[in-house]
Structure formats: C-alpha cells, structure tokens
Structure 1
Amino acid sequence: MEERIGIYDIVRNNFAGSRHYAEIIRETVYQHIQKGRRVVLDFENIDLITQSFADELIGIFVRAFGVDFVKTNISVINANKNIRNILNAVVSYSRQFQTA
C-alpha cells in the first residue's frame, strides 16, 4: 500500500524552505512507514526547495537508517531537475554519516 503526501498541500507555497515543514512531513512519512506503507512524496506545484528542507526531510532518514531504507520506503514524483539535484546532493552527503 502507498501513501501520497503532497508537499504543496502542507507548505502552501511553491517554495519549500522551512525545516519546520520538512519535520512535519518527515514525521508523517515515518508514521506511514511504521505501518508498513511505502510513501510517495509529490512535489507537484513546488518550484524550489532548500538544502535544509531536503536534509530535514530525507537526510535524517539516510543518516539514521541508510540509503536502502529510503529507496525501499520513499519515492519522489513531480520533482523538477533542481529539486532532484538538491535531494540527490543531500542523500550523497548524508550517506557519509549514516549510522545504520
């Protein structure tokens, strides 16, 4: 079973830059994962994210559980090239410090 989380539905802006919103989303993602659900992060209507947003949303998962955990449990849709580049950079950086 999959759960879709619309980033725009939460941040209500085409720019996602706040660690606060990313933390809310991350906690929701984790709740779904704990229930055995795969999560789809939908970036429709989001034009730009900050590295700190991406770190709070994905980097923490990579450091705590590893890249395979993220690949297994989370997917991204409707993300433009810039968003994908930022997410990939955060994953690359965070994997150096993963504890899992």
Structure 2
Amino acid sequence: MHLANHRLLFTVGAVLAFAVHVDLDVVDVEVVGWILMLVAVVATLLEVAGRRARERALRAASAAQPTPARVVPARVTPSLAPWDTREFRPVPRPARES
C-alpha cells in the first residue's frame, strides 16, 4: 500500500469510529473503525521503515561502486532548424558531361 491509501483507511476508520452512530446486532461499527485506524497506523509505520531500509541499501550500493568518469559531449554547431543537430556537409557530385 502507499501512504495515500493509509490515510484513506485511517479516515474511513475515524468516520466509522466517531461519526457513525448505528446500532447493529451483528457488527459493532465503532470497533471496526478503531481496527481500521490501527491497521492504517501499523501499515504506515511498516511502509516508512521499508522505505528507509531501501534508501540505506541504495546508498550503500552506490557508495560501493566507483563513479564513472565524466564524458564531455562534442560541441554541436547550431543550425537554423531546431530539430536538425547534424552538421551539414555537401555531397560531392561528379561533373555532368554534355
């Protein structure tokens, strides 16, 4: 789940726990709301812990690899057309016989 889903789950749980006043014989709506809020908090904590672990692993992996040498790109002469990035070279043609 993502953090937005956790917020939505917490919101639904809060509405059920605090705003809905229905007396059902089968289900206690207030308890269902508290359970949803608890699940949302636990899922948020697990998501944050997992993200931190992934970031730590990525940092360790990037620190272990040497950084590549910087390659300076070749200088391109500008042209009149913005989509044309090739240098213009006229093609030599043979002289015509008459």
How does the TM-score come out when normalised to structure 2? 0.26
More strand by share: 1
Question: Between Structure 1 and Structure 2, whose CA radius of gyration is higher?
Answer: 2
How does the TM-score come out when normalised to structure 1? 0.26
